[in-house]
Structure formats: structure tokens, C-alpha cells
């Protein structure tokens, strides 16, 4: 990471224009393949998408419409390469978008990169962040009329507890569901795959969206280009829509909670959910619906549902610093948060088995623990619940201590120095009315 904001902006000026040069869409008996070409100064990037024929169930595909969907995916997929220098201009030579679309993608790119900008100490006002230009500026947008009947559900699956609650909550519609795995680069989400298997879905009920990244995405940061985390949520959204269309699925059902997006991650927020559905209705086929079935719940309620299915405890994950052999690194805020939330709900021996150690007895986590209790996270982008939920869980854990029982180090520290016994949090009756969940699905998830 470069620490000087002024020095960082020099890269933006050195490479002032990013070019979405072209995309080539192919469909044959083997499936669908799309090749993209992006340019940044002297560098050319050539990622691709492949979807095998086995993962396509729609026999009424409109190739012109499908090509347009992949053109749109190419815009947001470019964020992986655009981030290398954050150019002020995004030049689309591959097609055309109107002014409303430009503002949509402006907001989307800024929201997707907000953590990246924070980590790289880049201070760019929203109004000056990016300008989209097109060669075919006055080309009218095609209106697509799709007569295909869509039904059933596409469930994008991560390997976390939220995905588990969605998979189990939709068991009554098991035969109507398809699970989506989004593969990028050499990524293999073993936790997601294990959760799908545990939910009883075979290979015939799993579809893959396979994105191959250009290797320069890892090489150029070592040469001084910007580096850091970029959320995949927006790419996942467009990939989910394409997959739903390829398989005639009516609903794309997400697993974001009430407070997802409150940590500045726009693409997990209710705001983005609303914006993307409007984009679908305006520019795609409005027969497909995009909503999170957990949007009415806080994290505590989701944990309450999750622990009803103990067979997933070894399958799920939630930490990004992991490997196939180890689902939890044991030293990041997200690991400690999950441990705290599960501690009063699950047997401690089971937690030791899952996390490999008692995180509440790890003195090295004192600063992380203090930040979680006092602020809800060590930085604005930690993927955790609210401070109230954390304190409530710790208060519950303290109340469960038996007379004479020795508390773990950090729990004792909370009891002695951080807890305010006069401040009582009740997170158990929370309900968020700001959601797009159809009543049928609301009833399903709340009774599960």
C-alpha cells in the first residue's frame, strides 16, 4: 500500500483512461464463451467467461439479449483491472450506454471500490471519481421483449452462515431451486460447496459461472500499481442475472441481512438491491426478481436459525484469510466476531473444534476485542454485525457462567472493564421492514 495520497493520485494521472475495447460472445453445443479485451496504457487484459452447456436449461435463448447481458457484465467485471490506477475516464468502445446507465455504473464503481480507496489512502470526490464515455454515444438502446416463462429460484451460495439459513429456509422449494457457484481465477469456495452438499443438492442442482482472470491482475500490483480488496458482489449480481436467464429462474435469492451494507459496502445494501432491480426492469427482462430473503433480520436472528442445523458447523466459513484445510484464521475481527456470537449459543467444545482454539482466551486479540465491543469493528469495512448484538451476546455469555466457573480471558475483561450493566440491549425482537421479500418467501424464512 502507498501511504501518500498525493503520490497515489499520480498513478491516476499517469494512466488517465481505461478502455473497454471489445467483447466476443460465442454460443454453441458446448455452451457459452465470452472473451473480453480491456486496455490501460500499454497493458492489455483478456479475461473470459465460460458456462458449460450442462448449466444451461433455457431452450428459448435470445442470443442478442444474452450478448447484451454479457456486454453489461463486461463493464462491472472491468473493476478488477480499472482499480490498478483508478483512471478518471472509462472509455467504452465495446458498445453504448445511456446517461442513466452511466450514473448507475458511476455509483456502482464508487461503491464497489470504497474500501479499496480507503485502504490505499485515495481521496477522490464522488463527482470527480469516474466519467463514462462511449464511441456510439447516440446509439439507441434496444428494448427486449422476452416471452419465456420464468419460475423457481436461483440461490447464489457463499460458505457463510447466511447461505446456510437460506438453503434450509427454502427446503420446501427444493425441487425448484438451483444453487449458483461463482468461480473467479483459481478460486474454489470449498465451504460453499460443502454447504450445498449438506443441504442435499446434487450436481444436477448446481450451476457454475466461470470467470478466468488475466494474470496481470496479480503481477502489476507488485510493480507499483494499486492493490487491495475489491468486493465481488456487483459482479456476482450481474452473473446471477445471466445465470437466472440461462436457466429460466424467476427469483435470485440473496442472503444479505438488515445491516449488510451499513459498513459502507454499497453492493450488499438494500440501496443497491433496489437500484439493481430498477436496472433489471429498465434495461433487461423485468421477469426476474433480485432480493435478499434475510433483509428483515439482524445477525443475531440469523445465528439463532443457523444453530438449528448443527451439521453445517464444520462446513461453513466466513473468514477471507483461509485455506481449504482451515476455514478460520483465528486472528481477524471476523473470526473473533463469529466466535463471540456463537459462544452463548453453542457448546464450547464444539467451538474449539471449529475454530481450533478458544479465541476468547487469546490475549493477542485484546485490541481487536476492544474495538469490536466499543465500535463494532476495527475498521469501517469489517463484515460483522452491530455493536449492540456483540454486547448482547457477551452479556448473555456472562450470565451463563456457573458459580465458581472461570471465564475466558477476554470475557472476564469485558465483564470487569467494558460492560455497562445498566445498559441492556434487546436484539431478539428486531425486524427490518425495508425489504423486497414477497410474502410467500417471508413466511417461509420466518417459520424455518
The more confidently predicted of residues 21 and 1 is: 21
Name the pTM for this structure. 0.94
Confidence of residue 380 (pLDDT cuts 50, 70, 90): low
Using the structure block, give the residue that is written with the C-alpha cell 427486449.
144
Would you say residue 140 has pLDDT above 70?
no
> How many angstroms separate the CA atoms of 116 and 148, rounded?
40
Mean pLDDT of 133-160: 86
> Which residue bears the cell 457463510?
160
Residue 381, pLDDT > 80, answer no
Instruction: Give the model's pLDDT for residue 264.
Output: 65
> Percent of the chain having pLDDT more than 90?
76
Average pLDDT (334-356) is 93
Quick one: pLDDT at residue 165? 97
Greater pLDDT, 261 or 254: 254
pLDDT confidence band for 315 (50 / 70 / 90): confident
Q: Is the dihedral of CA 57, 62, 66, 67 positive or negative?
A: positive
Find the DSSP H helices in 260-347: 270-283, 299-306, 333-342
- Indicate the average pLDDT of the chain: 91
As to burial, measured by CB atoms within 10 angstroms (0-12 exposed, 13-18 middle, 19+ buried), residue 183 is middle
pLDDT at 342: 95
pLDDT of residue 9: 85
pLDDT tens-digit profile of 73-129?
999 999 999 999 999 999 999 999 999 999 999 999 999 998 899 889 999 999 999
Phi-psi region of 121 (alpha: psi -120 to 50; beta: other; left: phi over 0): left
Evaluate if residue 4 carries a pLDDT over 70. no
325 vs 445: which has the higher pLDDT: 445
pLDDT digits (tens, 9 = 90+) for 15-58: 999 999 999 999 999 999 999 999 999 999 999 999 999 999 99
pLDDT of 3 > 50? The answer is no
Confidence check: pLDDT of 318 > 80: no
Check whether 1 has a pLDDT greater than 70. Answer: no
Cell of 88: 478518471
Q: What is the mean pLDDT of residues 337-363?
A: 94
Q: How confident is the model at residue 382 (pLDDT cuts 50, 70, 90)?
A: low
According to the model, what pLDDT value does residue 269 have? 93
Looking at residue 383, its pLDDT comes to 64
Arithmetic mean of pLDDT, 349-355:
92
Give mean pLDDT, residues 123-144: 85
Task: Give the E-state strand segments of 135-216 in sequence order.
Answer: 153-156, 177-184, 206-212
- Give the range among 81-85, 95-99, 200-204, 381-385 with minimum mean pLDDT: 381-385
Longest dimension (CA), the chain: 77
pLDDT-derived band at 62 (thresholds 50, 70, 90) equals very high
Amino acid at each position: 500500500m502507498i501511504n501518500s495520497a498525493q503520490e497515489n493520485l499520480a498513478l491516476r494521472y499517469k494512466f488517465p483512461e481505461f478502455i473497454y475495447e471489445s467483447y466476443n460472445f460465442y454460443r454453441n453445443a458446448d455452451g457459452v464463451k465470452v472473451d473480453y479485451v480491456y486496455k490501460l496504457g500499454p497493458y492489455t487484459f483478456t479475461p473470459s467467461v465460460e458456462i458449460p452447456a450442462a448449466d444451461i436449461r433455457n431452450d428459448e435463448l435470445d442470443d442478442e439479449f444474452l450478448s447484451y447481458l454479457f456486454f453489461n457484465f463486461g463493464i462491472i467485471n472491468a473493476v478488477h483491472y480499472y482499480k490498478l490506477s483508478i483512471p478518471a475516464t472509462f472509455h467504452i468502445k465495446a458498445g453504448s450506454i445511456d446517461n442513466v446507465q452511466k450514473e448507475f455504473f458511476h455509483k456502482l464503481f464508487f461503491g464497489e471500490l470504497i474500501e479499496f480507496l480507503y485502504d490505499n489512502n485515495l481521496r477522490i470526490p464522488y463527482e470527480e471519481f469516474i466519467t463514462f464515455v462511449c464511441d456510439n454515444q447516440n446509439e439507441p438502446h434496444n428494448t427486449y421483449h422476452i416471452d419465456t416463462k420464468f419460475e423457481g429460484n436461483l440461490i447464489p451460495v457463499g460458505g457463510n452462515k447466511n447461505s446456510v439459513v437460506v438453503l434450509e429456509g427454502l427446503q420446501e422449494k427444493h425441487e425448484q431451486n438451483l444453487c449458483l457457484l461463482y468461480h473467479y481465477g483459481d478460486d474454489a469456495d470449498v465451504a460453499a460447496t460443502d454447504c450445498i452438499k449438506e443441504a442435499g443438492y446434487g450436481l444436477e442442482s448446481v450451476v457454475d459461472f466461470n470467470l478466468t482472470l488475466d494474470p496481470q491482475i496479480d503481477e502489476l500490483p507488485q510493480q507499483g500499481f494499486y492493490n487491495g480488496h475489491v468486493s465481488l458482489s456487483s459482479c456476482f449480481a450481474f452473473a446471477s442475472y445471466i445465470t437466472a436467464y440461462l436457466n429460466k429462474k424467476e427469483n435470485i435469492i440473496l442472503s444479505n441481512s438488515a445491516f449488510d451494507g451499513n459498513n459502507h459496502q454499497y453492493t450488499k445494501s438494500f440501496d443497491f438491491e433496489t437500484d439493481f432491480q430498477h436496472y433489471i426492469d429498465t434495461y433487461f427482462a423485468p421477469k426476474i426478481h433480485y432480493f435478499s430473503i434475510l433483509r428483515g433480520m439482524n445477525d443475531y436472528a440469523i445465528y439463532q436459525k443457523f444453530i438449528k442445523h448443527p451439521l453445517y458447523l464444520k462446513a461453513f466459513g466466513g473468514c477471507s484469510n483461509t485455506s481449504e484445510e482451515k476455514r478460520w484464521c483465528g486472528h481477524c475481527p471476523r473470526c473473533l466476531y463469529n466466535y463471540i456470537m456463537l459462544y452463548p449459543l453453542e457448546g464450547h467444545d464444539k467451538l474449539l473444534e471449529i475454530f481450533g482454539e478458544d479465541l476468547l482466551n487469546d490475549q493477542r486479540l485484546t485490541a481487536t476485542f476492544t474495538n469490536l465491543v466499543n465500535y463494532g469493528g476495527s475498521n469501517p469495512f469489517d463484515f460483522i454485525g452491530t455493536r449492540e448484538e456483540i454486547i448482547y451476546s457477551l452479556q448473555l455469555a456472562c450470565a451463563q457462567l456457573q458459580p465458581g466457573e472461570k471465564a475466558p480471558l477476554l470475557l472476564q475483561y469485558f465483564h470487569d472493564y467494558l460492560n455497562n450493566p445498566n445498559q441492556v440491549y434487546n436484539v431478539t425482537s428486531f425486524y427490518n421492514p425495508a425489504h423486497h421479500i414477497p410474502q410467500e418467501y417471508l413466511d417461509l424464512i420466518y417459520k424455518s
